[in-house]
Amino acid sequence: MIDILKAQLSLELANGIQLPKEQIYQLLENPKSIEHGHLAFPVFMLAKELKKAPPLIAQELKAKFDGKISHVEQITAVGGYLNFTFDLIYLQNLLSHAVADSASGKVRLGYQKPKAERVVIDYSSPNVAKPMSIGHLRATMIGQAVRNLAESQGYQVTGLNYLGDWGVQFGKLAYAYSEWEGGKNKNYDFTQKPFEALYQLYVDFHKAAEENPELDAKGSLTFKRLEEGDKEIEKIWKMFLDISLNEYKRIYGLLNVNFDLIQGESFYNDKLESTVELINKKGLLTESDGAQVVFLDDDMPPCIIKKSDGASLYATRDIASAIHRHDGMKGDHLLYVVGVDQNLHFRQVFKVLEKMGYDWAKNCHHVAFGMYRFKDIGKMSTRKGNVIFMDDVLNKSIELAEKIIEEKNPDLSDKKLIAQQVGVGAIVFNDLSSDRIKNVDFDWDRVLDFEGDSGPYVQYCAVRCKSILRKFEGRIPVDTEVPLVSSEEKTLVKQLLLYPEILSISYKNFKPSFLAQYLLEVCKAFGSFYTHNKILDDNLDEKTKLARLRLVQCTETLLTEGLRTLGIQSPQKM
């Protein structure tokens, strides 16, 4: 849409401006107000070469191009800018056809042509046997949104859930399970509530080990047996894995999250030795206090590859895994959606890869995010200790959404389903609408404010479009025949045309917040269109009515698509 306009315009401008069309494309701006047209070209770049003042250059270019650019109705020279106003019907139909192509399944709204390059994206990646924390909610949702954005840019995508499924804690758990008869002890209901039982076992073991440190040693010993391939322990470990995966799948279903591959840290067990060997062969390994390390630049501590007792580390696995993601999975871009607290870890891992001579290390990105800060932690039930679990936050939100819906629209059918879509959507939107790198101030009143900058607000706007469309019984043609000339209509059309560009910059920055903020702008533009322009009025001439209805349809499709890209569902009613 706007990208098509820019491409057309830059091609034609290149016929009279001594700049390559690619550069003209880059220079074209989206004016803030519709008063300044649909696209603006700043001429300042040309002043030096032409030895003229920018306003004069703008005047001359206006004279040169006036009436000569396709679909451009008016060119104005304002200061150092050339402003282009396009034919309104042309723009309405450009939008309308893109929406029609999306509806017919030809090409999704705003999507780029398929590319050969592959993005491997690591997201969610919780630690087995533990409930997902609120941090994992961020890793899951930001990851799913970035994954969807990558697809919108035409990339081949492999979404990878890199489970934390290996480490001494599994020895401890397996020890506790077999010693304390986890399967038979009534404190641990492994048949009815296996995941809760597993976590209870985890909590109890840690409590007991505080008083009796010998337990830790027993746990380590059990882990050693697991590492050495003890079948009995391995069976217990596998059971823990299955129980956890079942629980995670339930949550992923609720969140609408999907992966192409679930491959935990344990997958790399048999690839670690060869990785250490490879690092060694490249002459990077140094012994330091009995450990094997790679020295990095001055601003980073060395990366430990092998501890003095021979054990490998989180970093060792990540190095092995990155090589596999590149060579095995054919990933050209490797993304890691993980909290900012692991910043040093990823800088070290990427640096080691670079030192190993992998030039693709520059395509590894830590998509980092900040933490949640709860304004009123009292409202959250923290089950044990101070950890806030994702499940509790989601349930609370669904419960609150249900109350609001009950008050606002008690006659609604499917209240349960809608409360789920709204409650979950509210949490996700709240998360994604703030710059991921910053901490999120979590405030229930804002998260579920149907009138504020929230998920329910965007969902509600789409629902309002749907209800207008339901009231109209006739057929709405794709092509509109009259221009929509009010400033609200023009602003809304222009806003909707920006969508492909928003997807592209959101992906380039790995920031779903750009898309979320944009959707809020669309809702505001729709709000003033709806307030100031009649849509279903009987006195309205038929062509204008159809053009306005089509605009409502386009808004609805775009909002629903935008929400879907963020991983949020759109209710039919609310």
Binding site for ligand ARG (CB under 6 A): 122, 125-127, 162, 164, 318, 336, 338
Among positive and negative, which fits the CA dihedral 371, 374, 379, 384? positive
**C-beta atoms surrounding 466 within 10 Å:** 19
Sheet holding 72-78, edge to edge: 39-42, 81-86, 72-78
Radius of gyration from C-alpha coordinates of the chain:
28
In angstroms, give the least distance from the CB of 124 to ligand ARG. 9
In angstroms, give the least distance from the CB of 342 to ligand ARG. 7
Closer to ligand ARG by Cβ: residue 130 or 464: 130
Closer to ligand ARG by Cβ: residue 126 or 425: 126
Contacts of 350 (CB under 8 A, 6+ apart): 361, 364, 366
Closer to ligand ARG by Cβ: residue 267 or 460: 267
Tokens of 197: 């039982």
Give the burial string for 349-384 (b: 16+ CB within 10 Å, else e): bbbbbebbebebbebbbbbbbbebebeeeeebeeee
In angstroms, give the least distance from the CB of 405 to ligand ARG. 34
3-state secondary structure 271-296: HHHHHHHHHHHCCCEEEECCEEEECC
Tokens of 215: 């337990």
Ramachandran assignment for 154, one of left (phi > 0), alpha (psi -120 to 50 degrees), beta (any other): left
Closer to ligand ARG by Cβ: residue 6 or 306: 306
Closer to ligand ARG by Cβ: residue 81 or 369: 369
Question: Could you tell me how many residues make up the chain?
Answer: 574
Closer to ligand ARG by Cβ: residue 159 or 164: 164
In angstroms, give the least distance from the CB of 164 to ligand ARG. 3
In angstroms, give the least distance from the CB of 350 to ligand ARG. 11
In angstroms, give the least distance from the CB of 359 to ligand ARG. 21
In angstroms, give the least distance from the CB of 509 to ligand ARG. 20
What does the DSSP 8-state code read for residue 340?
G
Please state, in angstroms and rounded to a whole number, the distance separating the CA atoms of residues 403 and 397. Answer: 10
Nearest position to ligand ARG, beta carbon:
164
In angstroms, give the least distance from the CB of 335 to ligand ARG. 10
Closer to ligand ARG by Cβ: residue 127 or 569: 127
What does the DSSP 8-state code read for residue 29?
B
Tokens of 153: 């840019």
Closer to ligand ARG by Cβ: residue 305 or 559: 305
Helices 542-566, 487-497: crossing angle, 10 deg rounding: 40
In angstroms, give the least distance from the CB of 340 to ligand ARG. 12
For residues 410 and 418, the answer to whether their CB atoms sit within 8 Å is: no
For residues 339 and 408, the answer to whether their CB atoms sit within 8 Å is: no
In angstroms, give the least distance from the CB of 319 to ligand ARG. 10
The Cα-based distances of 208 to 147, 182, 211, 218, 247 in angstroms read 42, 15, 5, 12, 26
In angstroms, give the least distance from the CB of 244 to ligand ARG. 12
Closer to ligand ARG by Cβ: residue 368 or 493: 368
Identify the burial level of 413 via C-beta atoms within 10 angstroms of its C-beta, where 0-12 means exposed, 13-18 middle and 19 or more buried: exposed
Please state, in angstroms and rounded to a whole number, the distance separating the CA atoms of residues 536 and 423. Answer: 31
Give, in degrees to the nearest 5, the angle at Cα 371 between 365 and 372: 140
Residue spans of beta strands (DSSP E) within 349-422: 364-369, 372-374
Closer to ligand ARG by Cβ: residue 12 or 318: 318
Closer to ligand ARG by Cβ: residue 345 or 415: 345
Among positive and negative, which fits the CA dihedral 194, 200, 206, 209? negative
